[in-house]
Structure 1
Amino acid sequence: MKIAYLPIDERPCNIDYIQMIARSSPEIELLIPDKSMLGEKKKAANTNRIWNWLFAAGESADAFIISIDMMIYGGLLPSRLHYLTKDAGATCIERLRILHKTYPDTPIYASNLIMRTPKYSSSDEEPDYYEEWGRELFLNAYLQDKKAREKLSQSEEQELKAISAQLPKQYIEDYETRRIFNSMINVSMLNLLHEGVLTFLSIPQDDSSEFGYTAMDQKKVVEKREQLRLHKKVHMYPGADEVGATLLTRVYNDIKGITPKIYPIWSSTLGPSLIPLYEDRPYGESLKAHILAAGCQLVASADEADIILAYNTPGRVMQEAWEQAEKDITYTSFRNMLVFVGDIKKHIDSGKKVMVADSAYANGGDQELIILLDEEQVLDKLISYKGWNTNCNTLGTTICQGIIGLKGKVSTIQENLIYHLLDDYFYQAEVRKKLVDDFLPKYKLNYFDLKNREETINRIRDDMLYKSYHDTIIHSFGDMNLGKVSTYAPWNRMFECGMKLEFKGYTKLIL
C-alpha cells in the first residue's frame, strides 16, 4: 500500500519515527515530501509547494494522511504565530474539495490540532510575548473557565483579579484572535467530513488542561460533532506529535480490513485513574481514545488479544524523567515492577506479542523498567517500546509500531527498539540533564539555543549515549552490535535529538 503522508512539521518525531515504523512492514510504502519543503521551526513552509506535492502524490497513493496545520499554516509552530485571514482558510478548504474530487477513491485521513496553551512562560515555540506573559495568559483563561463551570476559591478570585489587571490587553486580543481562527478551521474540517471530502479526522490536544482555552475550544468541536452526528469519524484526545503514527495505524487497518485486538496490563493499581502531566484526563480514558482512533479494539482478556499492551504508569505521583534519582516513594509503594515485568515475560513466553508504553514519567523512560526487562532477557523480544515526551505521544507511537510490526521485519523492529531506548530513555531521561547541567554552562549556552556549538554538543552526546547504552543493556540485542551513535539537534536546542545508528557489519541511516 502506498500512503502519501504530510507531517505536522519537520522534526524527527514527525518524520523519522513514522518512516521507521513504516519500514518495519513490507506492505507499506510511505510517500513523503522532502524536508526542504517543510519549513524550519517558526519559518513556515511554502503551502503552495505543499499543495502541488500533495496533488501529484495522489496519482499513486492508496490513501492520504494530511496535517491540516502543515497544509494551512505551513507547520505546527507557524499555526501559533500566523496572521492568516478567513480567505486563506477558505482556500485550503477548497483545495481539499478539489483533491477529493480529483481522487474520489483515495480516502483522506486528516489531523488538525486544538491550539495549545502552555502553563509556563517561554517564547521558544510561542509568540514573543509568551516569554514574559505565557503563564498569565494560561491562568487568566484557566480561572475564567473554572469560574464559569465551577466555583473559584477566595485565593483564586484574587489571583484572577490581579492577573486581569496586569495582563496587557493587546496580547490577549492577539492570542484569542488566532485561537478563533483555529476553531473556525476545526469546525470547517467537521463540515468537510460531513460532506464526504474527508474520511476520518483526528483532533489532538497539545499541552491540554481541564480548564482554559483548550477546554473551551474543545467544547465547540464537541458541539459541532454532536450536531453532525460524526462521533465515529471525529476523534479528539490529548496528544500532538504522535498523530501521524495514529493515522498511519488507522489507514493500515482500514486498507487491510482488520481491527486488531489489544489487551492492556498495568504496572500500578491506580494507573488507569491517574491524570498524567500535560494532559486533561486519566490514563485509562486516553487509552480508550487512542485505541479507537487507531482503528483497534480494546478487549477484556489476553486470550482474545492479538497483542498485549504493557502500560507503565506512576504509582500515584507523576514526575519528570530526569528526577528519577529522587523519585517519589509511590513509584515503589504503589506499584510492583517485578510483577509487571514478570507478566510481560509470561505473555512473551506464551507466544504473545507485547508492546510497552513507558509512561510512568513525563519526558523520558523509566530506568527501573529498562533494567528489569534487560535482566529478564525480554527487552529485545518486545515488538514496540516508546517512552518519550507526554503520555499520549508515547501511547500513539507504541500502538502504531506494535500493530504494524505484528507481521513486520524482526531486524527493523529491533533497530527501532534500540533507537527509542537511546532516544526515549538514555537521552531524554539521563543524558540530556547531564549535558544541561555540566556542559551548557561551560560553553555559555542555554537549553533553547546551542548557538554555534551544536557540533560540540552533538559529539559529547554521541559518546555519552554510546557509553550509557553499553553500560546498561547487558543481556539484550546480542545479534545487534551497536557500533556508533551520531546525533544532531533539530531546531538547535536540547529538547530532542535525531540519530544515525551504525551497527557493526552494516549501517542503518534513520533520517
Structure 2
Amino acid sequence: MRIALVPLDERPVNVDLPRQVAAIAGAELLLPPTAAMPDFRRPADVAALHDWLRGLPADGDDRIDRLVVCVDTLVHGGIIPARITTDTTTTALRRLDVLRELKSAAPALRITAASLIMRASDSYSAVEEPAYWSDFGRELHALGGALHYALEADVTRGEAAALTPSIAAPDEVRSDFERRRLRNHTINLAALTLHEERTVETLTLTADDTAPYSAGSAEQVWLRHWARALPRGHEVLMYPGADEVGAVLVARALASGVGVPVWRIECGEPDGLDRVPNFENAPVRASLTRQIVAAGGRLAEPGEPADLVVVAHAPDPARGDFFGARPDSDPAATQGTVDAVRAALDSGAIVALADVRFSNGGDPELVDRLADDGLLLRLASYGGWNTAGNAIGGAVAQATALWVGRTLGTADEPAVREALLTRILDDRAYQSGTRLAMHAAEFGGSIAPVDASAQEAAIIRITRELSDYLAAILPAGDTWRIERVTLPWRRSFEIGLQLRAQ
C-alpha cells in the first residue's frame, strides 16, 4: 500500500512517527518535500504543497491508495501558523478546493482529513502563539471559559441570561484573536461540508490542548450541532488530540484495506479510566475509545476475544506533570499497571501501553519497573509523551499497524522494535529524565529556542545519556544504537531520534 500524507508540521512526531507506523505494516508513506514544509513559526509553502499533491500518481502500479491530509497545513501552513498568520477567511477557504480538484481528477482516491480546533493556551508563553500572548494569554484563555459558560446559559436559560464576558485586555487584542478563531472555525465547518459531499471519506476534528470549559470546548458544541444536522455527520470523529493525528490516520488507512481490529481496554486502577487528564475535557476512557475508532478499530463486545489490548496507566492530574519538576509516582498504581501489562501479554494479544499518568513525559517508576521485569520490550507499542491524546494515539497507531502487518504477512519486526525504542527513549529517557535535568541550566527554564552553541552542547549530553539508557534496557545480542539526535524547533520540548540496528 502507498499512502501520501500532508503532516501537521515538520516535527518528528508528525513526520517520523507516521512513517514508522507505515513501515511496521510494510507499507510506503510519501511525504512532501522538506522545502515545502513549515519551520517552527514560518508557514509551509502552501502553493508548493498543493503542487506536490497534484503531482501524485492517481493510476498505474505506483498510484496512491490513500491520502491523509492535515487541513491546518493545507490551508494555514501548519499548527503554529494556524494560530499566528493573518490570511483572510476567503483565502483559507479557497485553499480547501485542492481536495475537490484531486477527488474530481481521481474519483477512486480515498481522502482522510484532520482539522484542529484551535487551542487557547493557559499560559503567558508566546513561543507558539501571537506576540501578545506574553501579556494577555491567561486572560484570553479565561475568556474562552467564560464564553463557554455563557453559551450554556444561552441554551438552558435563554439569551437574556448570558452576558458578554469582560476581559482585562485591549479590544484590538481580543478582536485579533477572536477573528483568527472565527476564521479557523469556519474552516472546520467547511471541512464538515467536504465530508458531507464525499470529497473526504473520513474526517476528524480534534481539540488541541483544551479544558472542560474553554474556547475549544465551546466550539466543539457548535461543531457537534452541525454534525448531528448532517446525514453523514455521525461518521465525523471528534476527540482530544493534535500531534498524534497523522500517525492515527495512517494506521486507519492501513487497516481500511484489511478489516476492523478488535480492542480491549485495561487499567490497573478501578476508577482510573473515569479521570480527566490535564489539557483535555473528557475522561480518559473516552479518549482511548475515540483514538481506537479513529485508527480503524472497535471495542470488543462482552465476552468477545480481542486482537489487541491497550493498557492505560491512568492519569493523576493532581500530582502535576513533567514540564519543570518531577511529580511523585504512586507505587500502588505502578503495581496495578505492571500486573495489567503482564496479564495482557500472557493472553497472547498485541499489547499497547498508554502511559498517561503524567503529561509531558512517561512515568519513570513504571517504565523502569517494566524493564526490570522483562516486560517492556515485549510490548507492541508505548506512548507517554505530551498530552494523553498524543500518547494514546501514538501507541494505538503503532499497535494497529502491527495487527495489519501480521494479518497480511507484511509486518516488519525490526520496524516494530525501532518505533518502540524511539518512544521509550523519547518519552521516558528524555522527557521525564534528561530534559527535566537540563530544563533550568541548559535551556533556561523555558521552551523558547536557544542559540546554536547551547543546542550543540545539549545534543551531546542528550545523545550520551539516552545511549546509556538504551544500553541498559536492551537484552544481550540486541545491538541498536542512536545514530543522530536533533532539536527540531531548537528548544528542549521535543527531540528527533534516528536509531539503527548494528
Aligned residue for 1:45?
A: 44
Q: In 2, Cα distance between the equivalents of 1:33 and 1:376? A: 42
Q: CA deviation at 1:484?
A: 3.7
Aligned residue for 1:358?
A: 355
Aligned residue for 1:420?
A: 423
Aligned residue for 2:485?
A: 487
Alpha-carbon spacing, 1:315–1:276, altered in 2? closer, same or farther (3 Å)? closer
Aligned residue for 1:15?
A: 15
The residue type paired with residue 37 of structure 2 is: L
More displaced stretch, 29-38 vs 141-150: 141-150
Aligned residue for 2:157?
A: none
The residue type paired with residue 308 of structure 1 is: V
The residue type paired with residue 340 of structure 2 is: D
Q: Secondary structure at the match of 2:166?
A: helix
Alpha-carbon spacing, 1:478–1:415, altered in 2? closer, same or farther (3 Å)? farther
Aligned residue for 2:393?
A: 396
Q: CA deviation at 1:458?
A: 0.8
Alpha-carbon spacing, 1:490–1:70, altered in 2? closer, same or farther (3 Å)? same
CA contact (8 A) 1:31 1:57 kept: no
1:56-135, aligned counterparts within 5 Å? 56-59=55-58, 60-135=63-138
More displaced stretch, 38-47 vs 312-321: 312-321
Q: CA RMSD in A?
A: 2.2
CA contact (8 A) 2:277 2:317 kept: no
Alpha-carbon spacing, 1:64–1:148, altered in 2? closer, same or farther (3 Å)? closer
Aligned residue for 1:385?
A: 382
Aligned length: 483
Alpha-carbon spacing, 1:485–1:434, altered in 2? closer, same or farther (3 Å)? farther
The residue type paired with residue 33 of structure 2 is: D
The residue type paired with residue 490 of structure 1 is: P
Q: CA deviation at 1:165?
A: 5.5
CA contact (8 A) 2:262 2:297 kept: yes
Q: In 1, Cα distance between the equivalents of 2:477 and 2:95? A: 49
Aligned residue for 1:5?
A: 5
Alpha-carbon spacing, 1:302–1:13, altered in 2? closer, same or farther (3 Å)? farther
Q: In 2, Cα distance between the equivalents of 1:58 and 1:270? A: 50
Alpha-carbon spacing, 1:479–1:302, altered in 2? closer, same or farther (3 Å)? farther
Q: In 2, Cα distance between the equivalents of 1:477 and 1:14? A: 30
% same residue = 28
Q: In 2, Cα distance between the equivalents of 1:107 and 1:502? A: 34
1:219-368, aligned counterparts within 5 Å? 219-256=221-258, 258-300=259-301, 304-314=305-315, 317-321=318-322, 325-327=326-328, 331-332=330-331, 335=333, 337-368=334-365
Per the normalisation by structure 1, the TM-score is 0.90
Alpha-carbon spacing, 1:64–1:167, altered in 2? closer, same or farther (3 Å)? same
Q: Which fold has the larger relative contact order, with Cα–Cα distance below 8 Å and residues 6 or more apart in sequence? A: 2
CA contact (8 A) 2:120 2:144 kept: no
Q: In 2, Cα distance between the equivalents of 1:218 and 1:92? A: 23
Q: In 1, Cα distance between the equivalents of 2:137 and 2:251? A: 35
Aligned residue for 1:192?
A: 194
Q: In 2, Cα distance between the equivalents of 1:171 and 1:340? A: 46
The residue type paired with residue 47 of structure 2 is: N
More displaced stretch, 178-187 vs 311-320: 311-320
Alpha-carbon spacing, 1:323–1:123, altered in 2? closer, same or farther (3 Å)? closer
- The one-character-per-residue Cα deviations of 1:136-168 (angstroms, maximum 9, x if unpaired) are 1111221232244269xxxxxxxx99x936311
Per the normalisation by structure 2, the TM-score is 0.91
Alpha-carbon spacing, 1:237–1:36, altered in 2? closer, same or farther (3 Å)? same
Aligned residue for 1:450?
A: 450
Aligned residue for 1:155?
A: none
CA contact (8 A) 2:321 2:327 kept: no
Aligned residue for 1:509?
A: none
Alpha-carbon spacing, 1:96–1:326, altered in 2? closer, same or farther (3 Å)? closer
Q: In 2, Cα distance between the equivalents of 1:489 and 1:97? A: 36
Q: Secondary structure at the match of 2:440?
A: helix
Structure 2: segments with no counterpart, 5+ residues: 155-162
